[in-house]
């Protein structure tokens, strides 16, 4: 017998032995996991792993196995939560147990363990508490930040006016507006829309976000050993390196100009905290954690809000009756004499409902950032071992028929009571929920409402000439294309005097 067949037999025997060992051990550790598709030895259930696969197959798996099921990433279980009742129970009623994060090798590598979204434990709690407090001190959710957003809306209106009513892609001008608001809060700088630095901020942030969802990024997370291969490492970290370099310039500028008695922005507040901790490196508050927190906040605070506003314009161009009702409410509340402010939101229930319904229909992040249980957890008759990865399927919450009368239709009435007043819905989890809810939620809500109102107060938004009408189902099915390539027209509207 030649050597090759012997090696083949030996390899087959080894794989079989490993499979038997893993099969023997699995019931001991995972005997009480939720049901799910049978894993392939050592490979798991690769068909269902990954964000794109999840969005495609999770509804089918939910129907087959129920609202809690298990898929496998190689030999590690991943528990998926579907529907409002289950996701709410986990994130709100068992918030502490479901507040962890699973390992993210690529992010952990480039962030040196300081990536804000992937942190767990005491470091995460301290940085999150500090971030929310600092942004609030700087005016997040207060009048000062509202004034900044309203000022920016004027620049946005001017940029849209320059299109002259011709078809245009709103993504860039919206990115400039949102980028300026975020830059003002975090970096202390405001840009002209044509400033190359603003364009660099928008482009590098967008590329960074796209990269985190790329197949190459997922490959690095699946096989961390590849991060030691120079060529792959360079490609995987190219976009994050560019955003790091951009942000680092502002940290250096602030280092030499910070006035600890009069902080100007988030960076200054962070430098004060570093000084208080007296550990410039290695502690929870260091220049490395500052850099990575800024990157996380820029990524979370620019592209998502920009994409939502862009989708809002595309969607509203296809629903002229809804647009007309929003404009009527705007005119009545402001008497066409001033901009709509946050204080007006309570008097504008229909507009508020439309803004919320746009986010629900968009379903921008169908899968929440992956969670992990922080301890062995008993949950709805199952036992989830400590460290088990958990995916809250947010899309299933935003389209849960038990919570929404017409879940697959654009219907602002979802957020209106029988008297036409705005009603909050706990099933509205566009910003996730519980301990890991988006830290910038208040600013995002403010921006979406104020900028949406500013644009509809000044313009009629219509489809580009020749564009076919699209309902919300069509827009959602093709949302990636529509978010970035669909054009609209904005023509000045005549208002009541």
Domain boundaries, the chain: 1-31
Average pLDDT, the chain: 89
Phi, psi of 214 (to 5 degrees): -85, 155
Cβ–Cβ < 8 Å for 349, 424:
no
More confident residue, 375 or 138: 375
The strand pairing partners of 364, in sequence order, are none
| Crossing angle for the helix pair 287-317 and 266-277, to the nearest 10 degrees | 150
**The pLDDT value given to residue 5:** 62
Residues 6 or more apart whose CB falls under 8 angstroms from that of 120 comprise 99, 100, 101, 372, 374
Residues in the chain: 497
Residue 1 clears pLDDT 50, i.e. is over it? no
Residue 482 clears pLDDT 50, i.e. is over it? no
pLDDT more than 70, % of the chain? 90
Weakest mean pLDDT among 18-22, 119-123, 130-134? 18-22
d(CA 137, CA 61): 45
| 3-class DSSP assignment, residue 426 | coil
For residue 297, give both structure tokens. 């906040």
DSSP line for 188-254 = -----TT-HHHHHHHHHHHHHHHHHTSHHHHHHHH-GGGGGSHHHHHHHHHHHHHHHHHHHHHHHHH
Q: Give the mean model confidence (pLDDT) for residues 238-251.
A: 92
**The pLDDT value given to residue 260:** 81
Residues 6 or more apart whose CB falls under 8 angstroms from that of 148 comprise 139, 181, 184, 185
Model confidence pLDDT, tens digit, residues 373-421: 999 999 999 999 999 999 999 999 999 999 999 999 999 999 999 999 9
The strand pairing partners of 432, in sequence order, are 430
Model confidence pLDDT, tens digit, residues 314-324: 999 999 999 99
């Amino acid at each position: 017998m030649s050597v090759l067949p012997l090696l083949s037999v030996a390899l087959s025997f080894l794989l079989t032995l490993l499979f038997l060992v893993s099969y023997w051990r699995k019931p001991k550790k995972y005997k009480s996991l939720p049901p799910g598709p049978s894993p392939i030895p050592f490979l798991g259930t690769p068909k269902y792993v990954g964000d794109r696969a999840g969005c495609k197959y999770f509804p089918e798996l939910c129907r087959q196995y129920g609202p809690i099921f298990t898929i496998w990433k190689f030999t590690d279980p991943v528990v998926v939560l579907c529907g409002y009742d289950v996701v709410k129970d986990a994130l709100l009623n068992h918030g502490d147990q479901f507040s962890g994060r699973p390992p993210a090798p690529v992010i952990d590598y480039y962030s040196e363990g300081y990536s804000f979204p992937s942190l767990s434990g005491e470091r995460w709690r301290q940085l999150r508490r500090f971030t929310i407090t600092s942004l609030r001190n700087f005016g997040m959710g207060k009048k000062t930040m509202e004034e900044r957003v309203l000022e920016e809306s004027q620049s946005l209106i001017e940029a849209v006016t320059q299109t002259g009513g011709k078809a245009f892609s709103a993504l860039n001008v919206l990115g400039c507006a949102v980028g300026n608001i975020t830059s003002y809060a975090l970096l202390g700088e405001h840009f002209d829309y044509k400033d190359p630095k603003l364009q660099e901020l928008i482009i590098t942030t967008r590329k960074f976000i796209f990269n985190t969802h790329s197949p190459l990024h997922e490959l690095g997370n699946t096989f961390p050993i590849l991060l030691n291969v120079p060529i792959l490492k360079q490609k995987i970290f190219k976009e994050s390196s560019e955003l790091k370099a951009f942000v680092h310039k502002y940290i250096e500028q602030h280092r030499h100009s910070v006035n600890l008695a009069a902080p100007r922005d988030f960076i200054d507040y962070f430098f004060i905290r570093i000084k208080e901790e007296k550990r410039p490196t290695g502690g929870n508050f260091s220049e490395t954690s500052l850099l990575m927190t800024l990157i996380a906040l820029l990524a979370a605070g620019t592209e998502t809000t920009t994409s939502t506003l862009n989708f809002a314009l595309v969607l509203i161009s296809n629903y002229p009756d809804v647009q007309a009702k929003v404009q009527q409410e705007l005119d009545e509340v402001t008497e066409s004499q001033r901009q709509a402010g946050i204080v007006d939101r309570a008097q504008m229930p229909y507009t508020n409902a439309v803004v919320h319904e746009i986010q629900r229909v968009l379903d921008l992040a169908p899968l929440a950032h992956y969670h992990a249980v922080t301890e062995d957890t008993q949950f709805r008759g199952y036992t989830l071992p400590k460290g088990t990865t958990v995916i809250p399927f947010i899309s299933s919450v935003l389209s849960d028929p038990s919570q929404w009368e017409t879940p697959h239709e654009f219907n602002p009435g979802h957020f209106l009571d029988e008297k036409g007043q705005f009603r909050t819905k706990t099933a509205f989890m566009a910003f996730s929920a519980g301990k890991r809810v988006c830290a910038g939620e208040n600013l995002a809500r403010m921006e979406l409402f104020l900028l949406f109102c500013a644009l509809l107060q000044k313009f009629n938004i219509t489809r580009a000439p020749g564009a076919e009408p699209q309902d919300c189902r069509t827009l959602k099915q093709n949302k990636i294309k529509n978010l970035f390539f669909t054009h609209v027209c904005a023509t000045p509207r005549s208002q009541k005097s």
